[in-house]
Amino acid sequence: MRIAARAARSIVKVNIMLRSTLTALNLLAATPALAHVTLEQRESPVDASYKVVLRVPHGCDGSATTKLTVQIPEGVISVKPMIKPGWTIDIKRGAYARAYSFLHGAKFTEGPKEISWSGGNLPDTFYDEFVISTYLAGELTAGETLYFPVVQECEKGAHHWIELPSPDKPAGKLGDPAPGVKLLQKAKGHGG
């Protein structure tokens, strides 16, 4: 009986060690993702407002970030960047591939396609967030992921967070992934 009890305790200890090791490996695997420019909210319903919050966790190899440029994906409308003291905002506008529905029957056929914040200084030892108010058009397809490619320029160097998943390169294998938001079904009771 004592041998069985000792064996059971040994198995429990091995299981605990395995769980601890797996937890540590999962944390290590997740760490590189923290080094990328990411979105605060990674899911949102279509036909709804969506606050794009781009988290910038570091500069470029120790160099301060001085410019951040984000491409606005097709179907993201009513785009308004938040002012950041000390930074200048540049908005490049263009035509959409199609008309998109907005609130109360309004249609958008053009709007911001790219937004840049420049002239500021975000040291490598700090992080900051860059915010854009948007609307995810109802014509977008739930279940898909929209990507916001970002170019981060620094005093020395740059990071291009622009890689998109493909059949030969899934999301987990990207070195410099573009931040993405998974589109969910339209919220029930939305009166758009």
Cα separation of 182 and 41, whole Å?
A: 9
Task: Report the candidate in 77, 15, 30 with the shortest Cα–Cα distance to residue 172.
Answer: 30
Fold of 35-184: Immunoglobulin-like (2.60.40)
pLDDT of 29-62, one tens digit each?
333 344 689 999 999 999 999 999 999 999 999 9
The residues, any chain, with a CB within 8 Å of residue 175's CB and separated by 6 or more, are 163
pLDDT of 96-121, one tens digit each?
999 999 999 999 999 999 999 999 99
Q: For position 24, what pLDDT does the model report? A: 38
Domain locations in the chain as residue ranges: 1-29, 35-184
Averaged pLDDT, 148-173: 92
Distances (CA, A) of 150 to 83, 130, 144: 18, 11, 19
3-state secondary structure of 96: strand
158 compared with 190, residue with greater pLDDT: 158
